[in-house]
Amino acid sequence: MASTLKRVSIVGSGNWGSTIAKIVGTNVLSNPKFDQKVKMYVYEEIVDGRKLTEIINTQHENIKYLPGHKLPENVVAVPDVVEVAHDADIIIFVLPHQFMANTCKPLMGKLKSDAFGVSLCKGFYIADDGKIDLISNMVRNLLKIECLVVMGANIAGEVAAGQFCEATIGSRNREQGLLLKEVLQTDFFRIVVRHDVEVVEACGALKNIVALGAGFCDGLNYGDNTKAAVIRLGLMEVMKFCDIFYKSSEHRTFFESCGVADLVTTCYGGRNRRVAEAFARALGEKTIDELEKELLNGQKVQGPEAAREVNIMLKAHNYENDFPLLTSIYKICVREIPVTQLIDNLRNHPEHL
């Protein structure tokens, strides 16, 4: 009978991964559809003289990346990603997107044929041929399994603390989406399932670019109206981008947590906004790289890289003029135009014609 129980595994154990492990580990205990053991892939490292996997498996706490939160004892840290994923039915990938390809490669050909993946990674992926693609497509292509996504306005620390919030599952297959909802939803982590997985995922990557625009407004001391206009024009360009590149047919998904909610939170808080504000205040005297080092203590902002990747796509299809905000933000980041030109480039936005 054990084989009919669905096994959920988690690949990644940073602060978002550990938060998800806490939720998943708790949920499977009370749901008879699922195997109670949840394996979590932990990139092995030594913390205070002990292996991190050992610490997690004895103290039931990821003391390095999510200190102060107990993990359920049925969450088992494992340092071998194949061991974690090979017998799983649902494999949740939650790690920085730049590590995804190398983490997936050892899993090629090793997974159950009816397993499905779930990506919580925000960002694009540059394929070997130089093409920009979504992380979920990389998983599909490399591992030959379907891949769902989960995006939303979810700061890990707040979710771990049980603060009420929402997230969006993107799943082409309704049944898989609803099964994943059972794995993730709690009374404080509320989930909506949408079918257009590419839109859900693209929102998560594109919002960081718009947040740079919002930060530029703050750094230039523009008022609330101007910032609201920049955020809204950003949303319009995100929607148009999805219409063109991902053939999104309906706009409802942009109203979900992955859309407006995550966008707005990122544009009012968040690292990208902060670095962009400092960049505008420096008026060309500092690069984004310099400010990142100065302000973020080793953390990275993803907006400038996403802006570059999106610009490659827009340029390749001769769409730069149709996306004046995304194009201007890219050009400001690489100092091709001064930040003070941002608004002038929006005065004849296609939205207002």
Question: Do the annotations mark residue 15 as ligand-binding?
Answer: yes
Question: Do the annotations mark residue 272 as ligand-binding?
Answer: yes
Of 244, 252, 263, the closest CA to residue 313 belongs to 244
Of 185, 304, 194, the closest CA to residue 257 belongs to 194
Minimum distance from residue 308 beta carbon to a second copy (Å): 26
Minimum distance from residue 347 beta carbon to a second copy (Å): 5
Looking at the Cβ atoms of 22 and 227, the one nearer to a second copy is: 227
- Compute CA distances 194 → 149, 181, 308, whole Å: 10, 11, 28
Rounded distance between C-alpha atoms, residue 63 and residue 47, angstroms: 8
User: What is the set of active-site residues?
Assistant: 207
Looking at the Cβ atoms of 106 and 269, the one nearer to a second copy is: 269
Pair type for strands 116-119 and 146-151: parallel
Question: Do the annotations mark residue 6 as ligand-binding?
Answer: no
Looking at the Cβ atoms of 106 and 338, the one nearer to a second copy is: 338
Those residues with Cβ within 8 angstroms of residue 209's Cβ, 6 or more apart along the chain or in another chain: 234, 303, 306, 307, 310, 326, 329, 330
Those residues with Cβ within 8 angstroms of residue 353's Cβ, 6 or more apart along the chain or in another chain: none
Question: Do the annotations mark residue 174 as ligand-binding?
Answer: no
- Name the phi and psi angles at 168, rounded to 5: -120, 130
Give the CA count within 13 Å in the CB-facing half-sphere of 105.
3
Rounded distance between C-alpha atoms, residue 81 and residue 83, angstroms: 5
Rounded distance between C-alpha atoms, residue 62 and residue 43, angstroms: 12
Minimum distance from residue 185 beta carbon to a second copy (Å): 8
Looking at the Cβ atoms of 107 and 192, the one nearer to a second copy is: 192
Contact 55, 47 (CB under 8 A): yes
Looking at the Cβ atoms of 198 and 256, the one nearer to a second copy is: 256
Question: Do the annotations mark residue 269 as ligand-binding?
Answer: no
Looking at the Cβ atoms of 24 and 267, the one nearer to a second copy is: 267
Contact 275, 292 (CB under 8 A): yes
Question: Do the annotations mark residue 163 as ligand-binding?
Answer: no
Binding residues vs a second copy (CB under 8 A):
153-155, 158-159, 161, 163-166, 185, 187-188, 190-192, 222-229, 231-233, 235-236, 239, 251-252, 254-257, 260-262, 264-265, 268-269, 343, 346-347, 349, 351-352
DSSP helix/strand/coil, 80 = coil
Question: Do the annotations mark residue 234 as ligand-binding?
Answer: no
Minimum distance from residue 312 beta carbon to a second copy (Å): 27
Minimum distance from residue 47 beta carbon to a second copy (Å): 27
* Residue 36 exposed, middle or buried by CB count within 10 Å (0-12, 13-18, 19+): middle
Rounded distance between C-alpha atoms, residue 331 and residue 116, angstroms: 39
Minimum distance from residue 26 beta carbon to a second copy (Å): 16
Annotated binding site for NAD(+): 12-17, 99, 156, 271, 300, 302
Q: Annotated binding site: which residue ranges?
A: 12-17, 99, 122, 156, 271-272, 300, 302
User: Which residues carry a binding-site annotation for substrate?
Assistant: 122, 271-272
